[in-house]
């Protein structure tokens, strides 16, 4: 398992779930000001879950990406906009061809400011006519996924099959 980095001075954490974590990580790690990304699992009720357990849909976890970033270079709002604009926030219980509870769309807020920004962006999308399925949830324990899930597209090549950028805001 990869180590989840701890925020140092001048750094903050954001956690996003938007289907397969490979695609979520692919787009977020390209944002200037992002220091590190880690694929993993959060929001469930089993300690130290494995990918196999997640896929068996018995843990309640989301596939998610832990983002360590420098807020003086990129704001949480900018990261959240990338999150919303690189997946379909209206799809329920999955993303593209990946269907199941582990692929739900969610933002796990770390503080009141992240919650307020997340709620406001979701509200903006609703006013534009989108039936947003993205959940806004308090941060939960984040478990790193197995090493072969980390930096997947950087290591294997290619681009995400179920994430594609589009302008929403």
Identify which of 23, 96, 31, 100 has the alpha carbon closest to the alpha carbon of residue 64: 23
Q: Does residue 4 sit within a domain?
A: no
Tens-level pLDDT at each residue, the chain (169 residues)? 778 888 889 999 999 999 999 999 999 999 999 999 999 999 999 999 999 999 999 899 999 999 999 999 999 999 999 999 999 999 998 888 899 999 999 999 999 999 999 999 999 999 999 999 999 999 999 999 998 899 888 888 888 888 889 999 9
Q: Does residue 6 sit within a domain?
A: no
Q: Does residue 165 sit within a domain?
A: no
As annotated, the active-site residues are: 20
Q: Does residue 98 sit within a domain?
A: yes
Is this prediction's pTM over 0.75? yes
9: which 2 tokens?
């001075």
Pairing of strands 135-138, 105-109: parallel
> HSE of 138 in the Cβ direction (CA atoms, 13 Å)?
1
Q: Does residue 95 sit within a domain?
A: yes
The total number of structural domains that make up the chain: 1
Domain of 40, CATH number, reads 3.30.1060.10
Q: What is the distance of C-alpha 21 from the center of its chain?
A: 7
Structural domain harbouring 137? 12-156
């Amino acid at each position: 398992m990869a180590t989840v980095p701890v925020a140092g001075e001048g750094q903050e954490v954001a956690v996003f779930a938007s289907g397969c974590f490979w695609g979520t990580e692919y787009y977020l790690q390209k944002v200037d000001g992002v220091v590190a990304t880690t694929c993993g699992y959060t929001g469930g009720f089993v300690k130290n879950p494995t990918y196999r357990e997640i896929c068996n849909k018995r843990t309640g976890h989301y596939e998610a990406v832990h983002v360590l970033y420098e807020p003086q270079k990129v704001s949480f709002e900018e990261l959240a906009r990338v999150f919303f604009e690189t997946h379909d926030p209206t799809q329920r219980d999955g993303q593209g061809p990946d269907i199941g509870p582990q692929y739900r769309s969610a933002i796990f807020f770390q503080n009141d400011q992240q919650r307020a920004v997340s709620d406001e962006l979701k509200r903006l999308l609703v006013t534009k006519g989108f039936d947003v399925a993205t959940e806004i949830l308090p941060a939960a324990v984040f478990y790193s996924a197995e090493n072969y899930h980390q930096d997947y597209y950087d290591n294997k090549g290619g681009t995400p099959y179920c994430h594609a950028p589009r302008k929403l805001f």
